[in-house]
Structure 1
């Protein structure tokens, strides 16, 4: 079993009548999902898609996502998942860089995708609410294309301080092993019901929610857009046993005025995508009675690298390395540092990507002697638990989504009035971090913060544009002329935020004995 699509065909053989996905009251069984992906694969082949070709998918968490995702894999092609909130300039880079000949895009992104496709020669096909019904009428092919473990299954775009998005090549073996490890670690099974809130186009949701659930034969209740009140009702209605989310989701669940909701079906929750404040973790567990297990990973590590385990956790920690993965903390020379000292996290194992697509230099810089250098600074305690303390890179993590300052700065520099710009992250009570921009103007030019904010907002995805923009006479610089972001003075009104705990909130009825019934660098908040 090499092609990642076999995790679906095998579960369909074992659990044909088990619900694979629920969308409100609509249920799609494993047998039905398997048949739909077979028809999607046949249509792709008829369009000339060959093994190894790249097919872009820009879809939210709708039923069409798993149908087309596994359909592309089944045809032997490589999936290039994209956020459906991306704008034309962002899609154009992804299309051109990946060489995708075909893009399957949600109806809301059709205009942006058409513009990008016209510039790259990519064929954009619009997907909407009626697509799955249409797929059911297409001819089917029962076979699954043969692929090798080392073949690229998915290209997920990420970036670093250079601001140039790079495609991380995740192989069939990377993703299958990552899903298998997650299933084994948390004893996932066909009796589990998973809340599908994490966006599947993101590495976290794709591996830990989509692939892991399909591998286990579990049922996924799809949530296209996260709404805390609706999710709590969904947990009660569908008997959700596993909730996977980013910290902002847990904050939202804690602060929802909904009245009593029975979430006693929850047996565990996992958090990733950004650091989970200990106060939020404690407040959630006190309120809902279900443990939150925090983990850590990156797109380049498929993504899971560490997790806390049931009965073996430390608040504030990202946990222990998963099975088959080695991790250590090193100094700038690559030497491992003693427990308790800060260094950079490096990772080696089955989860490390094949490399960046068509970027051998970037691959060589990131993977040294088999160790992937994360750029994240951490300490390891005497028990082997890891604690992230800072980020070596300038990445801003807003609501679990990575935002790369250089990308936003490039947009600002396109404005005729902007002389210099520095984009940085500032603390935010619910999103973790918010995007902020300090800007100097060209001599004689005029522009207001509102104008500059709007300029960026129309050119990047909704979660990326800077909510805080202010003008300064000059930006602090070092001896080489590099802007020193750490020395930028912030307006007082954007500092001093705190993270709410919500621990005094209650959603669960008590059982007859007076106890509460049990209730892891996008979906995550998009505005």
Structure 2
């Protein structure tokens, strides 16, 4: 009995002491502090930013993402006690919440009346405070989205500030507000309360760059930023995967490849530490180390091993040709390249190996590294799998990628750990993913989309990742999908169109979504996937310099013909382009934008962006809800007889005439007009008369209609599946010189 009394006394002492500390530290009332103390103790809450919410001058609307049943209790304990809380029906009636409901005024949410009531505007105009609890879905349905419209309308009418609040970690609690059990249940996760700086509704809309006077998307984007801020981007690649292992469980199966290798988080990080230890004996911290491997568990082990060792992975595009590979090695000052003898032999890359050696780099074979591993090495790595070999920070270079070179020579893009981790988290804040998902990635990791979206996003979010070595196996990949039953897939239009032609019914029917980037998705491809597999293609947009995802459509917020809306925490500006009446050249900034370039004239030297803004080189237009339409490349404009013509626009026009074929539009010098437009096509039936008729129907100038047609069996493409315009233009010049154009 005495022991029980002593234990109760100790609990009461800790409770009271915590309450006193929180009352003084956060400025809470005594009742708030007493009721907040158990949450602070159980969930080790990080609440340093709650002072922003409490200190915001009224009128103010606190917009809380409602994930779990304890969210109202937390907010009632932490927000100023004069706040009016609009609670859902379950929270308003819950008996256990009764003590917390006594802390402030509460009313029950009524979808028919509350958000159109003038009472709320009057409350705010009277220097009031309002707490609104929004649905937690990353992709809210149209009914839920009406709440965003209502909140921003009320905030505008009352000229109130908006403060977004997101409780990181609450999505794992077993008592979810939606009633749906979480993908991963944890009774006492660490919680992190994310609070963003206050902004008025008008400031949000203006920042969104929209001409609309009332834009719910502006509020939705701000809430997504709060979700992103609740995560920790200041991690290295190794640390981010390690944290995922601790969250989803070390034994969670996370990686499988075409060779049959199946790795849990523990095995993956143990192997990465073994390789990291080996790499420290071959290189110095900060060195650029080439990685020339196909999509496989070995490639992921090498990437994480180099991150663990504090080295920079220079991912070699072995499909770019010997000349480009040699130039890349020299530009990034790569002295060692990690590869596999079996891979080089099977892929017939002897000429690429010679190019690597010609650049002064040495090949180190994985087979040799594996044979040198001792039992003691394995035992030490198994004990220390949670810890990197070399302590590093998130703001140093993590990888070097080489741009596609579709229109010129490739450039070396330097991305930090933070760039990559933030971009993966930005994607997770926009598209719903969970540890229940199975991701099929056919895009090579030397392609930025294949690295971040196809590899890092699944690894960090507990998705089972299946890596397939080549996207060109058009008949085999549908068979893999039938066996694997993936729920998510990443690809490009070129590859997706080919899979749709070769797949059998049901091969891809398990997919929840397919994210497509790197090139425009053709209407024919979209229709084929929808009709044959019932799968929606979510078109996105990115560039290597942005790690790479910039914008993406979602299942709910999807507009065909656009690439979606810009990701959270990114900003864009549009500058006029000669000859383009609507839209302009797109510039971007954000935490995912690269550290800088390395160039051939100054090898190994990082050249950061002068003002933090990246010139994408793309010409776009943005509608009043923020959906972006790519209208062309600034470099892909031709000046014909003094008129600017978008080659991309002409290409889309030709695609509508022969939708099942592949086409590319290029310009070549012309003595009379300066430049002339040439169509390169796989359509054997293509003819100039049909093009002129289409141009007349579309109302485009005659000078924008291709005057020459070059017919080919296949359009030159890069390893990413994008059209290789440089090679296509060389082909055209060669054909025209030989007089073989139509």
Q: TM-score, normalised by structure 1?
A: 0.72
Task: Quote the Cα distance in structure 1 between the aligned partners of 2:539 and 2:371.
Answer: 38
Residue 348 of structure 1, aligned match among 589, 594, 598: 589
Secondary structure in 2 matching 1:311: coil
The equivalent of 1:75 in structure 2 is: 309
Structure with the larger helix share: 2
The equivalent of 1:36 in structure 2 is: 271
The equivalent of 1:496 in structure 2 is: 686
Matched, 1:121 2:360: yes
Measured against aligned partners, the alpha-carbon deviations of 1:243-296 in whole angstroms (never above 9, x if no partner) come to 1110022212221253x4354421111100100012321331232222211100
Secondary structure in 2 matching 1:293: strand
Residue 2 of structure 1, aligned match among 232, 235, 241: 235
Task: Quote the Cα distance in structure 1 between the aligned partners of 2:406 and 2:682.
Answer: 27
Task: Quote the Cα distance in structure 1 between the aligned partners of 2:535 and 2:512.
Answer: 6
C-alpha displacement of 1:348? 1.2
- C-alpha spacing 1:263/1:87, structure 2 compared with 1 (3 Å): closer
Quick check: 1:84–1:106 contact (8 Å CA) kept in 2? no
Q: TM-score, normalised by structure 2?
A: 0.52
Task: Quote the Cα distance in structure 2 between the aligned partners of 1:278 and 1:490.
Answer: 20
- C-alpha spacing 1:287/1:370, structure 2 compared with 1 (3 Å): same
Quick check: 2:440–2:465 contact (8 Å CA) kept in 1? yes
The equivalent of 1:216 in structure 2 is: 461
Query: Which of 1 and 2 has greater Rg?
Result: 2
C-alpha displacement of 1:431? 8.6
Q: Which runs of 5+ in 1 are unaligned?
A: 396-425, 439-474, 499-520
Task: Quote the Cα distance in structure 2 between the aligned partners of 1:476 and 1:220.
Answer: 50
Which moves more between the two structures, 208-217 or 14-23?
Answer: 14-23
Quick check: 2:513–2:535 contact (8 Å CA) kept in 1? yes
C-alpha displacement of 1:39? 0.5
Task: Quote the Cα distance in structure 2 between the aligned partners of 1:224 and 1:526.
Answer: 20
The equivalent of 2:670 in structure 1 is: 476
Secondary structure in 2 matching 1:185: coil
Quick check: 2:251–2:266 contact (8 Å CA) kept in 1? yes
The equivalent of 1:415 in structure 2 is: none
The equivalent of 2:108 in structure 1 is: none
Measured against aligned partners, the alpha-carbon deviations of 1:37-91 in whole angstroms (never above 9, x if no partner) come to 01110110122x2221000111111221101011111111111101222433222
The equivalent of 1:99 in structure 2 is: 333
C-alpha displacement of 1:237? 1.7
The equivalent of 2:429 in structure 1 is: 184
1:500-511 equivalent positions in 2, closer than 5 A: none
- C-alpha spacing 1:34/1:5, structure 2 compared with 1 (3 Å): same
Matched, 1:289 2:534: yes
Quick check: 2:256–2:466 contact (8 Å CA) kept in 1? yes
Task: Quote the Cα distance in structure 1 between the aligned partners of 2:319 and 2:681.
Answer: 30
Quick check: 2:454–2:490 contact (8 Å CA) kept in 1? yes
Which moves more between the two structures, 77-86 or 306-315?
Answer: 77-86
Secondary structure in 2 matching 1:486: strand
- C-alpha spacing 1:437/1:378, structure 2 compared with 1 (3 Å): closer
Task: Quote the Cα distance in structure 2 between the aligned partners of 1:252 and 1:136.
Answer: 45
User: Which structure has the higher relative contact order (CA within 8 Å, separation 6+)?
Assistant: 1
Quick check: 1:21–1:219 contact (8 Å CA) kept in 2? yes
C-alpha displacement of 1:211? 0.5
The equivalent of 1:267 in structure 2 is: 512
Residue 394 of structure 2, aligned match among 149, 166, 173: 149
What is the aligned residue count?
A: 427
C-alpha displacement of 1:12? 2.5
- C-alpha spacing 1:436/1:132, structure 2 compared with 1 (3 Å): farther
1:367-378 equivalent positions in 2, closer than 5 A: 367=609, 369-378=611-620
Q: Which runs of 5+ in 2 are unaligned?
A: 1-233, 638-653, 691-717, 725-742
Task: Quote the Cα distance in structure 1 between the aligned partners of 2:352 and 2:391.
Answer: 31
Quick check: 2:665–2:679 contact (8 Å CA) kept in 1? no
Task: Quote the Cα distance in structure 2 between the aligned partners of 1:232 and 1:491.
Answer: 27
The equivalent of 1:486 in structure 2 is: 676
Quick check: 1:293–1:308 contact (8 Å CA) kept in 2? yes
Task: Quote the Cα distance in structure 1 between the aligned partners of 2:370 and 2:253.
Answer: 16
